[in-house]
Homo-oligomer: A and B are copies of this chain.
Amino acid sequence: MIRLYDYLPSGNGYKVRLLLTQLGIAFERVELNIINGETRTPEFLAKYPNGRIPAVELDDGRLLFESNAIIMYFAEGTPFLSADRFQRAETLQWLFFEQYSHEPYIASVRFLVMYPQVRDDRRQILDMMRRRGYDALAVMERHLKSREWFVAERYSVADIALYAYTNVAGEGGFDLSSYPAIRAWLDRVQSQPRHIPITQG
């Protein structure tokens, strides 16, 4: 069975859990507490040099890390990823936007708020991180004003990737009241068949 190294509060882990559940693919979840350094043990680093979850081990022992690479792998050949070359590139565009312009601000601010005991130099630039988080939300709001979904007018891994941390942005203090298109899209994502919340393993 596919093994998913995961941490329940992680939106990056949640992307993989949500997609596998919606695809009906069985998986075994191995919970690792990132706060206690459980992804930085010699055993974990020998398999996953980046020392981060989520990471997967396939049935044949092959290993893969990086949440968005993992969901692209499992979405291949399913309705969650277009077969069209340009639409695949647009999907990747939003996945890289998520990891570069969204997650480092929206997810990281949430992390710093959730774990006040963790020493982290980024607390010094929290205001800038909040501003950049709202910048990312503004890009999403603008895109969703005239569209139901991020790519090709259907629910896909692009929506899953951006949903993961947008839906818990409030836990980092982000206020979505001025982002009606995002809020309507969050509702649409939650209405998809086999949807699970981030709290479900």
Contacts and interface: CB of A to CB of B under 8 A. Distances in A.
A184 interface: no
Given A121-B128, A127-B121, A128-B121, A89 B72 contact: yes
Interface stretch (A3-11, A23-31, A94-102, A172-180): A94-102
Nearest to A58: B86
A197 interface: no
Decide if the interface of chain A is mainly helix, strand, loop or mixed: helix
Contacts of A139: 49-50
Nearest to A12: B100
B93 A65 contact: yes
Nearest to A99: B100
Given A50-B139, A64-B86, A121-B125, 16 more contacts: A50-B101, A64-B90, A65-B93, A66-B100, A67-B96, A68-B96, A69-B92, A69-B95, A70-B89, A76-B85, A92-B92, A96-B96, A96-B99, A99-B99, A100-B100, A121-B124
